[in-house]
Amino acid sequence: MKWTLRSTNGTLVAGIGNGTAGNGTNQHSCPLGIYVDQSMALYIADACNGRIQKWLSGASTGTTVGGANGQIGFPTDVSVDNYGTIYALSGGGLYRFYPGSTWGTIVISSYA
pLDDT tens track for 1-10 = 677 788 887 7
Which pTM does this prediction carry? 0.85
Q: Is 93 left (phi over 0), alpha (psi -120 to 50) or beta?
A: left
The shares of helix, strand and coil residues in the chain, as percent rounded to the nearest 5, are 5, 35, 60
- Domain boundaries 31-109, corresponding CATH code: 2.40.10.500
Q: Which amino acid belongs to residue 110?
A: S
pLDDT tens track for 10-55 = 776 676 667 788 888 888 899 999 999 999 999 999 999 999 999 9
